Amino acid sequence: FPGPFTDVVTTNLKLRNPSDRKVCFKVKTTAPRRYCVRPNSGIIDPGSSVIVSVMLQPFDYDPNEKSKHKFMVQTTYAPPNITDMEAVWKEAKPDELMDSKLRCVFEMPNENDKLNDIDASKSAPVLNASKQDGPMPKPHSVSLNDTETRKLVEECKRLQAEIMKLTDENRHLRDEGLRLRKVAHSDKSGSPTALALRDNGSNSLPSLLVVIAAIFIGFFLGKFIL
């Protein structure tokens, strides 16, 4: 049983029946007030196993006191059509009983384990304080999963394609504006002021779209990097 013994300490026993007959078992201890055993008796089918939990109750541990606590696992073949477990043990003959004895050992954690626990408890408040001072930079693998990363990459590619498309349209409209300006100069009946306004309106709209697209891709790239 590992210490410290300020709380309940549980140890499991695995009982296996290697025979081809059902076996009855019972767990006994020399200190019944100090232990809780569940189950403390039962039947194990042929080739099956049972886990028995032995729970040591809290107590004041004295390293100078030697442990004299012992357990005994007693077994016997189950009779056919068993109905009363108490009757089985009362009627069992000594040569039909089999037993295994176990001695309890108490182990306290060594000094190195204690120091490690103290260091861990001291480092915890420091980590909490750093979280309160400001958000720590998180690695990409923590902040985004694979699906979100893939979506952001695809969105960035789409926005880049949109910027290239808008840049081409902007270039085309700029060339068209230059052509119309030349026509306006050659056409004496045209209104230069109206043509100039039309040119400015045609050039400003694609430029505005390019700026908006650049803002969106900057936002997504910033989120992807964070």
19, part of any domain: yes
Is residue 44 exposed (0-12), middle (13-18) or buried (19+ Cβ within 10 Å)? buried
Residues 6+ positions from 51 with CB-CB distance below 8 Å: 12, 13, 14, 15
Are 95 and 14 members of one domain?
Answer: yes
Are 28 and 94 members of one domain?
Answer: yes
Structure confidence at residue 160 (pLDDT): 79
Residues 6+ positions from 155 with CB-CB distance below 8 Å: 220
Are 34 and 98 members of one domain?
Answer: yes
Final residue in a domain of this structure, among 88, 103, 118: 103
Instruction: Tell me how many domains the chain contains.
Output: 2
| Residue 165 domain boundaries | 149-181
Q: Helices (H), strands (E): how many in the chain?
A: 5, 7
1, part of any domain: no
170, part of any domain: yes
Q: What is the CATH number of the domain that holds 93?
A: 2.60.40.10
Edge-to-edge strand ranges of the sheet holding 49-56: 9-16, 49-56, 35-38
Are 98 and 166 members of one domain?
Answer: no
Structure confidence at residue 154 (pLDDT): 80
Structure confidence at residue 133 (pLDDT): 47
174, part of any domain: yes
Structure confidence at residue 146 (pLDDT): 67
Structure confidence at residue 171 (pLDDT): 81
Are 37 and 98 members of one domain?
Answer: yes
122, part of any domain: no
Are 90 and 154 members of one domain?
Answer: no
Edge-to-edge strand ranges of the sheet holding 70-77: 41-44, 23-29, 70-77, 98-103
119, part of any domain: no
In this prediction the pTM is 0.47
Are 157 and 96 members of one domain?
Answer: no
Output helix, strand, coil percentages for the chain, rounded to the nearest 5.
Answer: 50, 20, 30
CA–CA distance from 178 to each of 67, 88, 93, 182, 204 (Å)? 102, 110, 116, 6, 14
Number of other residues whose CB lies within 10 A of the CB of residue 39:
12
Per-residue pLDDT of the chain (226 residues; tens, 9 = 90+): 888 888 999 999 999 999 999 999 999 999 999 999 999 999 999 999 999 999 999 988 887 777 789 999 999 999 888 888 888 999 888 898 999 999 988 888 764 454 455 444 444 444 444 444 445 544 444 445 567 777 777 877 788 787 888 888 878 888 887 888 777 777 655 555 554 545 555 555 555 555 555 565 555 555 545 5
114, part of any domain: no
